[in-house]
């Protein structure tokens, strides 16, 4: 049920909904669309890249992916068509770019999705393969080997590859470029029979405990995959679509559950207009008025209730005022007397010896010199 086709102009393909679809864009076909090298007989190996988009739109449909590692490798369109697109032809525009000559070539791929109701696949298992990249897994030989190994383990009558997804699209990290590490790929397969006991071994409590401790679980059929595929059994997903899961759950009332308040009645669409003038008065006007009153009271106390000098003198006893006046008068007289006294300069402030010859220097002024206005300390010359 996996469709592999080469590129041709306006090629029609007919994939089934819910089944993996793979379309290879081969570089060899597009080499004939571009001019050859100047030297005759030389093998052309131009770098070619592809751009794919839905006709009339800038990108592809949500179910369709595209990958091309290098300009020297083939491009691959892959994905799982959805049931919503059954019966609607999907036209994909494929544009090839020659990176040497900058020439372009365009072809159309018409995808006619068919219904897959005749082949229901109720049991689906998704494997995570650690040692593969998505373009390696999309190769028909590798995918066929993997489906063969799954068929030996599962033993179904019908087995289809449903979808392939790169680990990078699931939030995985780009591996380090050492030891040829791979990014990993998720492969979902579907069958018409229940899961085998080997696949159910992952659900054992012992294996669940080992997975929680980041240890490798013990799977008896792992040796059938180990030669070519390294499967992470802790990431396997088993889905049984035959079990109808009831969405209704009975609510058990207890702590934290509010009692039933009846049917919810939303407010009317026509709401009445509301006057916010009263809210304005309460929120701004009233606090502002109170603050203004307090300011006026404080200003009256600080400015209008001050006690001046006259009022202070009127409340002071006369004897205390006389004493204060006498003290001020005595202080003034003492200051005047200190200005008129005559005091000679102390000898310690006068130069005694000449700074160069060492001779005794006479005083700078005579005894009759008025020294009352001179400072006590004289600046040395």
Same domain for 109 and 36:
yes
Is 269 among the domain residues? no
Pairing of strands 11-13, 104-111: parallel
Is 54 among the domain residues? yes
SS3 168: helix
Burial class (CB in 10 A: 0-12, 13-18, 19+), 222: middle
* pLDDT for position 246: 43
Is 43 among the domain residues? yes
Same domain for 106 and 154:
no
Cα separation, 87 vs 117, whole angstroms: 13
List, in sequence order, every residue forming a beta bridge with 92; answer none if it has no partner. 54, 109
Domain residues for the domain of 101 are 11-113
For 179-208, write each residue's pLDDT tens digit.
778 888 999 998 888 888 888 888 888 988
Question: How is residue 22 annotated by DSSP?
Answer: E
SS3 140: helix
Same domain for 165 and 92:
no
Query: Is a pLDDT exceeding 70 seen at residue 211?
Result: yes
SS3 191: strand
Q: Spell out a b/e string for 190-206, using b for 16 or more CB atoms within 10 Å of the CB, else e.
A: bbeeebbebbebbeeee
Query: Is a pLDDT exceeding 70 seen at residue 46?
Result: yes
* pLDDT for position 6: 41
SS3 92: strand
Q: What is the CATH number of the domain that holds 98?
A: 2.60.40.10
Is 216 among the domain residues? yes
Same domain for 32 and 97:
yes
Same domain for 179 and 81:
no
Residue pair 130/160 in contact (Cβ under 8 Å)? The answer is: no
What contacts 110, CB < 8 A, 6 or more positions away? 10, 11, 12, 13, 89, 90, 91, 92
Is 295 among the domain residues? no
85: nearest Cα among 52, 60, 119: 60
Is 270 among the domain residues? no
Query: Which of 223, 240, 257 is the C-terminal boundary of a domain?
Result: 240
Cα separation, 117 vs 18, whole angstroms: 10
Same domain for 203 and 177:
yes
Residue showing tokens 């992952």: 202
Residue pair 17/85 in contact (Cβ under 8 Å)? The answer is: yes
Query: Which of 113, 146, 174 is the C-terminal boundary of a domain?
Result: 113
Mean pLDDT, rounded, for 329-344? 79
Is 58 among the domain residues? yes
Same domain for 73 and 170:
no
User: Band of the pLDDT at 7, cuts 50, 70, 90?
Assistant: very low
Question: What is the pTM assigned to this prediction?
Answer: 0.59
* pLDDT for position 5: 41
* pLDDT for position 94: 92
Query: Which of 57, 89, 113 is the C-terminal boundary of a domain?
Result: 113
Mean pLDDT, rounded, for 148-164? 89
Cα separation, 265 vs 348, whole angstroms: 108
Beta carbons within 10 angstroms of residue 142's beta carbon = 16
Cα separation, 55 vs 190, whole angstroms: 31
Cα separation, 104 vs 68, whole angstroms: 17
Which range in 1-10, 39-48, 55-64 is most confidently predicted, on average pLDDT?
Answer: 55-64
Residue showing tokens 């365009």: 106
SS3 202: helix
Per the structure, the count of domains in the chain is 2
Query: Is a pLDDT exceeding 60 seen at residue 43?
Result: yes
Question: How is residue 377 annotated by DSSP?
Answer: S
Long-range contacts of 213-218 (CB under 8 A, 24+ apart): none
The pLDDT mean for the chain works out to 80
Same domain for 159 and 89:
no
Is 374 among the domain residues? no
Query: Within 13 A of 11's CA, how many CA atoms are on the CB side?
Result: 16
For 233-270, write each residue's pLDDT tens digit.
988 888 888 775 544 445 555 555 566 667 777 777 77
Choose the weakest-confidence range: 75-89, 173-187, 201-215, 222-236.
173-187
Same domain for 188 and 138:
yes
Same domain for 103 and 131:
no
CA angle 364–370–376, rounded 5-degree value: 70
Mean pLDDT, rounded, for 288-301? 92
For 92-139, write each residue's pLDDT tens digit.
999 999 888 888 888 899 998 888 765 668 889 999 998 888 988 888
Same domain for 101 and 148:
no
SS3 32: helix
Same domain for 186 and 104:
no
């Amino acid at each position: 049920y996996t469709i592999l086709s080469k590129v041709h102009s306006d090629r029609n393909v007919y994939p089934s909904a819910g089944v993996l679809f793979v379309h290879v864009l081969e570089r060899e076909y597009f080499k004939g669309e571009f001019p050859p090298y100047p030297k005759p007989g030389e093998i052309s190996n131009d770098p070619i890249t592809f751009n794919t988009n839905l006709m009339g739109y800038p990108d592809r449909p949500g179910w369709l992916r595209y990958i091309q590692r290098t300009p020297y490798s083939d491009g691959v369109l892959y994905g799982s068509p959805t049931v919503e697109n059954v019966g609607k032809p999907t036209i994909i525009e494929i544009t090839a770019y020659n990176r040497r000559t900058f020439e372009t070539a365009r072809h159309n791929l018409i995808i006619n999705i068919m219904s897959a109701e005749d082949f229901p696949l109720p049991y689906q298992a998704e494997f995570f393969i650690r040692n593969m990249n998505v373009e390696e897994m999309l190769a028909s030989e590798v995918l066929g080997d993997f489906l063969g190994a799954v068929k030996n383990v599962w033993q179904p009558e019908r087995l289809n590859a449903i979808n392939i997804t790169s680990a990078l699209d699931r939030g995985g990290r780009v591996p380090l470029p050492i030891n040829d590490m791979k990014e990993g790929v998720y492969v979902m397969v579907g069958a018409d029979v229940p899961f085998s006991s080997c696949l159910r071994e992952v659900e054992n409590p012992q294996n669940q405990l080992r997975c929680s401790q980041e240890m490798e679980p013990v799977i008896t059929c792992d040796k059938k995959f180990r030669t070519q595929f390294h499967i992470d059994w802790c990431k396997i997903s088993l889905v049984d679509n035959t079990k109808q899961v009831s969405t209704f759950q009975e609510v058990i009332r207890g702590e934290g559950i509010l009692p039933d308040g009846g049917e919810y009645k939303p407010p009317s669409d026509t709401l009445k207009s509301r006057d916010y003038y009263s809210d304005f008065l309460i929120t701004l006007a009233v606090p502002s008025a109170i603050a203004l009153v307090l300011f006026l009271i404080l200003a009256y106390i600080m400015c209008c209730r001050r006690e001046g000098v006259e009022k202070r003198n009127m409340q002071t006893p006369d004897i205390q005022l006389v004493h204060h006046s006498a003290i001020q008068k005595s202080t003034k007289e003492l200051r005047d007397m200190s200005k008129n006294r005559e005091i000679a300069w102390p000898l310690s402030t006068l130069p005694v010896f000449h700074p160069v010859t060492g001779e005794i220097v006479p005083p700078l002024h005579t005894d009759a010199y008025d020294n009352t206005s001179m400072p006590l300390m004289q600046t040395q010359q």
